[in-house]
Amino acid sequence: MTTYDYAIVGAGLIGSACAKYVSQSLSDEKSVCLIGPDPPSAAERQAGSTRIAFGADDDEGRIVTCDTISDPLGAALARKTIARFGQIQASTGVQFFSEVGCMTVVGSPDQSKAVREYVDTLLASSYCRATPVRPISGRFPFLAGIPDVCCGVLASTNAGHVSPRKLVLAQLMLARRHGCKVIRDVVMSVRDHGDHYRVLLQSGTAVLARRVLLATGVSSVWPSLLPQQLRLLAVPQTQTTLLAEVSEECARSVLHAMPGMWVRDFWHNGGMDNTKLSPSLAYILPAIRYPDGRWYLKIGHGKLHDNPIPPEPQTIAEWYRSHDTAVGDHLHDILRSIMPSLLPISLRLDSCATLTTPTYLPYIDVLPGTQRPGTLYVATGGNGGAAKSCDEIGRLAAGLLVKGAWLSDLPRERFRARFIGADKFPPSSRL
């Protein structure tokens, strides 16, 4: 049986990026494999399916922006990743990034010091070339439901939306081009066998590897994946999105200038609340053509409807195959209030899950307590932002896996993994 020098578990956004960088850095004598299932079919997302592994990359539209004021480290990961989108597209011929801009909608800066300071900080960002939009409906008539006193801050460069499935496809093309073996299966457990790790697959076979990196998203918390003392402190959380179908004519004419949008919760009890800067209410993506050939405008919620999911594989899988109609109704109400003239052809709900860490930053780290220190790694916990940050997360993870080095000026301590029962491991057991 072949023993790989490196095995990357998880073929989603972060795993595919890591596989690309690892394969590019290796000599011909070294071997690397990437393990993860094919994207789910439509039937596998229906009730009655036995599929247990799903990923957040099975989507056609994710919002992209890098001006997150409250999360400067996350913004740094996003900026480095977004800067490489053009190179990845040129190298593969896969077009996955649409630079249509992203607008943050807030309440009235005239009535709130917090809103005014927030807007001023956004406008000071040179990376995304932000400009104010007020009244919003004057520039975007289809947003007629947003009160004229509200302000929009439009980032016109390095912002828009990305197709996660196409981005993963491009990264896999580059990884394979440099010799990475892609194994389409689900990893059930990883165990240390002294001079190698045994990676047990759902098919019943196993892969052997000297070093392993887990980039397994919400599956990272499966109880069986790692020994109990290495279970990560992270929570899978529900995400519900509403897809509003529009005609191609509407998408290309009425909505052609629409940017991605973050809408803050400036409505309160039927009126407006400008006394504080409220959290994000929703994000909205412009009309995008999906694989079924139809055009959909997508709306998702902020943190308001995040709910924890128990970590068992079947429970997470059941969430992916279900729909929260109450959340869907709320999203539809938001969409109608912002775009009152929009008359969707149809509406459909989609379910996803994100892995949230206590730090709201990804874990990019070596796992302690193994027989051979420095041989088991993790890169997981996208906190809902992996699509815009995955390439840099993958690059940093590859540096640790291959060189044992942190190849960044970002503080490494902020990306350390946390564990359930972490007090069992002394600090000296870490690289």
pLDDT of residue 10: 98
pLDDT of residue 431: 31
User: Has residue 25 got a pLDDT over 80?
Assistant: yes
Q: Choose among 58, 61, 60: nearest CA to 317.
A: 58
User: Has residue 305 got a pLDDT over 70?
Assistant: yes
Tokens of 352: 């996803």
Distances in Å between the Cα of 7 and the Cα atoms of 4, 151, 181, 203, 403 are 7, 48, 9, 17, 15
Q: Where are the domains of the chain?
A: 3-57+164-233+358-429, 102-156+235-356
Over its C-alpha atoms, the chain yields an Rg (Å, rounded) of 22
Going across the sheet that includes 62-64, the strands are: 62-64, 160-162, 97-98
Q: Which CATH superfamily is domain 102-156+235-356 in?
A: D-Amino Acid Oxidase, subunit A, domain 2 (3.30.9.10)
Same fold, 3-57+164-233+358-429 and 102-156+235-356: no
Residues 344, 294: Cα–Cα separation, whole Å: 12
Half-sphere exposure of 272 (CA within 13 A, CB side): 14
User: Has residue 8 got a pLDDT over 50?
Assistant: yes
Report the percentage of the chain scoring pLDDT > 90: 78
User: Has residue 102 got a pLDDT over 90?
Assistant: yes
pLDDT of residue 109: 82
How many helices (H) and strands (E) in the chain?
9, 21
User: Has residue 422 got a pLDDT over 80?
Assistant: no
Strands 206-214 and 235-246, by their bridges, are unpaired
Residues 300, 392: Cα–Cα separation, whole Å: 25
Identify the three-state secondary structure at position 427: helix
User: Has residue 424 got a pLDDT over 70?
Assistant: no
State pLDDT tens for residues 276-300: 445 568 999 999 999 999 999 999 9
Half-sphere exposure of 12 (CA within 13 A, CB side): 28
Q: What CATH number does the domain located at 3-57+164-233+358-429 have?
A: 3.50.50.60
Average pLDDT over residues 170-192: 98
Residues 43, 331: Cα–Cα separation, whole Å: 25
Distances in Å between the Cα of 281 and the Cα atoms of 106, 261, 328 are 10, 11, 13
Q: Name the amino acid, one letter, at 238.
A: T
Residues 324, 57: Cα–Cα separation, whole Å: 20
Cα angle value 147/265/246 (rounded, 5°): 70
Contact 61, 242 (CB under 8 A): no
Contact 109, 134 (CB under 8 A): no
What average pLDDT does the structure give for the chain?
A: 91
Tokens of 84: 């490489």
pLDDT of residue 423: 44
Region at 293 (left for phi over 0; alpha for psi -120 to 50; beta for the rest): left
Cα angle value 218/222/225 (rounded, 5°): 115
